[in-house]
């Protein structure tokens, strides 16, 4: 594995490097270089091979760097950070923190360049090619979640939307309970995994996947319309994942602290300003049942308010999905 990442560092400038030169630096033969290149491709990294020139990446890669992310997080938010790990490869950042949670402090952050088994909500696979996006998780403890956990996922969405707005991303949409959208295309997703008792202490792992510069080949494995920040902001922009990750963590750490004191109520107006389903017909699917109604936003706990046949129901997040009902729009 170490050789694979040494090769990636050599190729990260986006220029051509001959197999002979790469082999000389790494102390291996050209056939071994070829095998390492193939292994990079299994991680979603596009490598071009041109006879007489050698190998190069389809685009240069700026790797995640601890110092640059911490600089963007800022002093106040960094005070809420117990530790930050950046891993080159992992099955899932959420899995990593869940498996080690008992020995980790409040505000422990894990970022990864690549996830081999990234997960979205309801067990769906999250496409996670190397160095293309943001994959991060935060471990946070709460003494209590008196209104339940549903408002926490919405608060995380608000924090991420605010962070993206601060770097010039406009028209960020939020879809209850955990999707980040841009013009009805999936930009990112949030996954919360919790352990605790009602009225007692809660352990929460907050996972975020955000598309930054998703290769088209990797995008073929996504089963819904998607978009990345490169498309949103424009090809001319310098998409620095360190700046993006740091800005998101700054907003997220500070807002988690506010949530621990005040709950979801102060975040509700901002959520509603980004809500893409408010006052629109929607369909909620649970197991083998579908419910159609009119979304009327959320209440102060983060529950969805759904008008069905003139009656307003409170819908709590769980094993369900929500989509806009285009048949009745």
Query: Would you please indicate which residues are annotated as catalytic (active-site) residues?
Result: 121, 186, 323
Is 297 annotated to bind a ligand? Reply is: no
Q: Cβ(151)–Cβ(230) under 8 Å?
A: no
Task: Dump strand ranges (E) for the chain.
Answer: 47-50, 54-57, 83-87, 108-112, 134-142, 172-175, 179-182, 185-196, 202-210, 281-286, 289-298, 304-308, 311-315, 320-324
Strands 304-308 and 311-315: antiparallel
CA–CA separation, 185 and 228 (whole Å): 9
In b/e form, how buried is each residue of 180-214, taking b as 16+ CB within 10 angstroms?
A: bbbeeebbbbbbbbeebeeeeebbbbbbbbbbbbb
Element (H, E) at 162: helix 150-166
Is 119 annotated to bind a ligand? Reply is: yes
Q: Cβ(14)–Cβ(56) under 8 Å?
A: yes
Among the listed residues 214, 217, 223, 222, the one whose alpha carbon sits nearest the alpha carbon of residue 41: 217
- DSSP, collapsed to helix, strand or coil, labels residue 78 as helix
Is 186 annotated to bind a ligand? Reply is: yes
Among the listed residues 302, 294, 264, the one whose alpha carbon sits nearest the alpha carbon of residue 277: 294
CA–CA separation, 45 and 325 (whole Å): 37
Residue numbers belonging to the annotated binding site for biotin: 92-94, 115, 119-121, 186
């Amino acid at each position: 594995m170490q050789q694979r990442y040494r090769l990636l560092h050599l190729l990260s400038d986006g220029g051509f490097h001959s197999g002979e030169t790469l082999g000389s630096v790494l102390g291996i033969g050209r056939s071994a270089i070829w095998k390492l290149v193939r292994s990079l491709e299994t991680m979603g990294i596009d490598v071009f091979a041109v006879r007489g020139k050698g190998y190069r990446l389809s685009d240069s890669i700026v790797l995640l760097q601890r110092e640059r992310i911490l600089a963007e997080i800022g002093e106040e938010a960094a005070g809420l950070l117990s530790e930050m790990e950046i891993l080159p490869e992992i099955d899932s950042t959420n899995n990593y923190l869940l498996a080690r949670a008992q020995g980790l402090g409040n505000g422990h952050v894990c970022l990864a360049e690549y996830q081999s088994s990234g997960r979205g909500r309801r067990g769906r696979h999250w496409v996670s090619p190397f160095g293309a996006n943001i994959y991060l998780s935060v471990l946070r403890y709460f003494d209590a979640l008196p209104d339940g956990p549903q408002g926490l996922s919405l608060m995380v969405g608000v924090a991420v939307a605010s962070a993206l707005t601060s770097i010039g991303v406009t028209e960020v949409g939020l879809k209850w309970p955990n999707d980040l959208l841009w013009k009805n295309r999936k930009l990112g997703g949030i996954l919360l995994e919790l352990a605790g008792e009602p009225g007692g202490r809660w352990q929460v792992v907050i996972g975020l996947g955000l598309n930054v510069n998703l290769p088209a080949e990797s995008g073929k494995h996504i089963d819904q319309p998607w978009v990345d920040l490169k498309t949103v902001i424009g090809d001319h922009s310098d998409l620095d994942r360190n700046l993006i990750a740091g800005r998101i963590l700054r907003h997220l750490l500070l807002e988690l602290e506010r949530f621990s004191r005040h709950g979801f109520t102060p975040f509700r107006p901002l959520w509603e300003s980004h809500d893409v389903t408010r006052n629109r017909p929607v369909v909620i699917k649970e197991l083998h049942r579908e419910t159609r109604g009119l979304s009327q936003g959320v209440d102060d706990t983060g529950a969805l308010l759904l008008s069905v046949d003139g009656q307003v129901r409170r819908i709590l997040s769980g094993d369900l999905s929500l989509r806009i009902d285009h048949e009745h729009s």
